[in-house]
Structure 1
Amino acid sequence: MQIQSIETFRGAIPLHTPFKTALRTVTVAETIIVKVTCDDGTVGWGEAPPTHVITGDSMSSIQYAIEAIFKPLLIGESLIAREQLFEKIEKSMVRNTSAKAAIDMALYDCIAQLAKLPLHQFLGGYHERLETDYTVSVNSPEDMAADARKYINDGFSVLKIKVGKNDIATDIERIKKVRKEIGPKVVIRLDANQGWQAKEAVRAIRKMEELGLDIELMEQPVKAHDLEGLKYVTNHTETPIMADESVFLAHDAKQVLDMGAADLINIKLMKAGGIHEAIKIAKLSSIYGVDCMVGSMIETKIGITAAAHFAASQPNVTRYDFDAPLMLKGDIANGGITYHGSTIELGNEPGLGIKSINDSFILEESAGN
């Protein structure tokens, strides 16, 4: 099976509610969609959203990497020797991890179809379904409590709550209001998106521990590059600390794991450059006895389907943050994963199970060859 054509499409879907973190506010999910077509008619799909403040990628840089670098590199190549393909992609340019992720997941979609297996079974087949959390954006404490109640009423039992904006006292008040509103049984995860300094993170987390707010984990409390600060927070709190923006590639994960800088690692395909590198991070973490979460940027169902299939294939991926498609006003993909409240069904279709894309959300497309 050889790669015959590679096409890119610019897409955009409005969110029904603004997504707010310590780093940014998103009202429209922009994305570059990739379609890989093979000589036997097999089609694979991938996508990459621009997340300037985390990956540094823009719509134009993603599309350029795929069209100008990956397309001439891959057209005519066979999928059989897939390690050669992924090696070529990785060596062709530094970083540009979102563009790499988009082409990576499209190739894996094709490869799993060649094997006549759903992608999660091709990669390992550990789970058939997953349970996602739902994210509570940064707002006033009262608004966040009301949002948390709504998501619980919608059937979610795990909430990921954004903090790290304004001051610590306000963040603590946010969590107090949320916990009071939803009661003691709901799982609460916090994500500061690099919004705190190490010592103030320790003060905040310890205060929440003293108040009995029962936080399951604290994600990326300090700047991505501040591994010593991350280790300081990990060593001086009881709450498990998760590295997110600090870990893009397996090399980053090894540094965090060797230092004991975090208790958990959040893997995202857009940071890792796709499934190929994400598997390395999961396997490496497993060697150290460390569990992982798999999350995402603000992606459509195409990217989340790929991430969910990867997550379902790895035994030490124990947490899932796949709520992004539920935040959108429309669905860009026909096929892929399906949601039943907080439960995600992966399905039995070969590959990702995506049949086509919804043209109403497409802004522009490239030529195929």
Structure 2
Amino acid sequence: MEAIPFAIPYIKPLKFASGEVHVAEHVLVRVHTDDGVVGVAEAPPRPFTYGETQDGIISVVEKIFAPQVIGLTLLEREVIGARVARTVGNPTAKAALDMAIWDALGKTLGLPVTDLLGGYTDRMRVSHMLGFDDPATMVAEAQKMRDTYGISTFKVKVGRRPVGLDIAVVRALRNHFGDDVELYVDGNRGWTAAESARAMREMDDLGLLFAEELCPADDVLGRRWLVGQIDVPFIADESVPTAADVTREILSGSATAISIKTARTGFTGSRRIHHLAEGLGLEIVIGNQIDGQVGTACALAFGAAFQTTSRYAGELSNFLDMSDDLLATPLQIRDGFLHRSSRAGIGFEIDPDKLDHYRQDR
């Protein structure tokens, strides 16, 4: 097992209520089988969300997870999951290990991971995430994404104070595009419940698709009060990193929809959450952990596997904000869609020269 740190700058920083990102300082996790198969996935640390750092991911993978799982087979995923679960936290490290194992399993069997998981479709519509900026700049970015890639769904980062700044952005987007695009907002827990309620009332005429994590989940009464007032699905994201968290948030009335991020729950955990959400009748969005192309390919592979996860546009475009990436054949968004690979495993290959250039352990 390997944990390889790499760093790729963003063309421009992505800014949102809980922080901002200037460089993709991620970790490439690789597992090797004794048959010579190599499974690969990506762990994106988000210290302001989950407390993980690049160094921490490397350490937990190499020093704690590797001794617990080396020697097991690719079919013993439940055993692997139970062993790594004894370590508290570290969600993206666990997720990358899980997805690398699924990648190796698919390559061993000669089957795409999407087909192993469910095989529902070969493509997903793409949603683009717009970070904090002034209205004119955000409208211009959205127009560029529409003109260049055919994207027609936009997730707008909100949560600034004063609240009117973000309302102005969303209104500018709707005024510019009319009904030709889908819009939803994500507060990253930046507003209070009262601010969120006021903002949603002022945006009531804008036809929003969803509202996501507008206020902190630990404001238990405020969150429940807010969700009871709004008339669009309220997505839980950072507040539902496990299936148990999904159950708690939904049964408490603190959310009515969820975001699944394979970077956070891998394929095995994401499948559990998907089945739970499907049984509860929840809307599901495939989220983005500001992933590179490796992580985006993983999210696409999972999202395309099920009808419920492919119903809405997935957040699959933020690799476009990076100055480069690691794939030998880059992902291509065409006419607003990403097509999943038909190759075995997750379906990508790492460019060894690019990895040598961006890795930080040499």
Structure 2: runs of 5 or more not aligned: none
Q: Could you list the runs of 4 or more consecutive aligned residues of structure 1 that deviate by over 3 angstroms after TM superposition?
A: 335-338
Q: Paired residue for 1:281, among 273, 284, 302?
A: 273
Distance 1:338 1:88, change over 3 A: farther
* TM superposition shift of 1:361: 4.2
Amino acid paired to 2:246: A
Quickly say closer, same or farther: Cα 1:295–1:87, change in 2 above 3 A: same
- Tell me the alpha carbon deviations over residues 29-75 of structure 1, each in whole angstroms, 9 at most, x when there is no partner: 11010111111111100111110111110011111010101111122
Work out whether residues 291 and 319 of structure 2, in 8 Å CA contact, stay in contact via their aligned partners in 1: yes
Q: Any residues of structure 2 matched to 1:242-261 within 5 Å, and which? A: 242-261=235-254
Alignment root-mean-square deviation, CA: 1.7
Which residue identity does 1:99 align to in structure 2?
Answer: A
Given the alignment, which residue of 314, 321, 331 partners 2:325? 331
Deviation at 1:157, TM superposition (A): 0.6
Q: 1:34 to 1:365 in 2, by over 3 A?
A: farther
How is 1:104-119 mapped onto 2 (pairs within 5 angstroms)?
104-119=98-113
* Distance in 1 of aligned mates of 2:21 and 2:129: 13
Q: Distance in 2 between matches of 1:55 and 1:94?
A: 12
Question: Within 5 Å, which residues of 2 pair with 1:144-223?
Answer: 144-154=138-148, 155-209=150-204, 212-223=205-216
1:92-114 per-position Cα deviation (integer Å, ceiling 9, x unaligned): x0111011011111001011222
The alignment covers a number of residue pairs equal to 357
Do structure 1's residue 26 and structure 2's residue 21 form an aligned pair? yes
SS for the counterpart of 2:139 is helix
Matches within 5 A, 1:351-366: 351-357=345-351, 358-365=354-361
Supply the distance in 1 between the matched residues of 2:168 and 2:356 (Cα, whole angstroms): 42
**Aligned residues of 1:141 and 1:173 also touching (Cα < 8 A):** yes
CA distances 1:162-214 after superposition (whole Å, capped 9, x unpaired): 111121111111111121122222101111111111122111101111xx211
Cα displacement (A) at 1:360: 4.7
Contact 1:13-1:29 at 8 Å conserved across structures: yes
Give the whole-Å Cα distance in 2 for the aligned partners of 1:197 and 1:247.
19
Q: Which moved more, 1:226-235 or 1:38-47?
A: 226-235
Cα displacement (A) at 1:365? 4.2
Aligned pair 1:230/2:226, yes or no? no
- Counterpart check, 1:97 vs 2:97: no
Q: Which sections of structure 1, spanning at least 5 residues, go unmatched?
A: 1-5
Q: Distance in 2 between matches of 1:59 and 1:146?
A: 33
Hey, what does 1:55 align to over in structure 2?
Answer: 50
Distance 2:65 2:341 in 1: 30
1:36 is the counterpart of 2:31: yes
Distance in 2, matches of 1:124 and 1:118, equals: 10
Separation in 1, partners of 2:186, 2:74: 38
The separation in 1 between residues aligned to 2:329 and 2:33, in whole angstroms, is: 19
* Contact 2:213 2:235 (8 Å CA) reproduced: yes
User: 5, 9, 12: which one pairs with 1:17?
Assistant: 12
- Paired residues of 2:42 and 2:263 also in contact (CA < 8 A): no
Task: Please identify which structure carries the higher strand content.
Answer: 1
Residue 283 of structure 2: aligned partner:
291
Displacement after TM superposition at 1:337 (Å): 5.0
Equivalent residue letter for 2:343: E
Contact (CA 8 Å) 1:267, 1:278: kept in 2 or not? yes
2:62 aligns with one of 63, 67, 73 = 67
- Of 316-325 and 222-231, the range deviating more from structure 2: 222-231
The amino acid across from 2:295 in the alignment is G
Instruction: Give the C-alpha shift of residue 234 in structure 1.
Output: 1.6
Checking the alignment, whether the CA contact within 8 Å between 1:112 and 1:351 is kept in structure 2 is yes
Q: Pick the aligned partner of 1:342 from 336, 343, 358.
A: 336
* 1:9-28 Cα shifts (integer Å, max 9, x gaps): 11111112221111112121
C-alpha separation between the residues in 2 aligned to 1:82 and 1:359?
Answer: 28
Q: Conserved in 2, the CA contact under 8 Å of 1:37 and 1:43?
A: yes
Conserved? CA contact 2:234–2:257, under 8 Å: yes
Shift of 1:115: 2.6
Corresponding residue to 1:87 among 79, 82, 90 = 82
Residue 260 of structure 1: how far off its partner (Å): 2.8
The alpha-carbon distance between structure 1 residues 185 and 339, as it changes in their structure 2 partners (threshold 3 A), is closer
Residue range with higher mean Cα deviation, 328-337 or 98-107: 328-337
Give the SS at the match of 1:325: helix
| Shift in alpha-carbon separation, 1:185–1:262, aligned structure 2, 3 A | same
Secondary structure at 2:349 match in 1: strand
Q: Tell me the distance in 2 between the aligned counterparts of 1:70 and 1:354.
A: 24
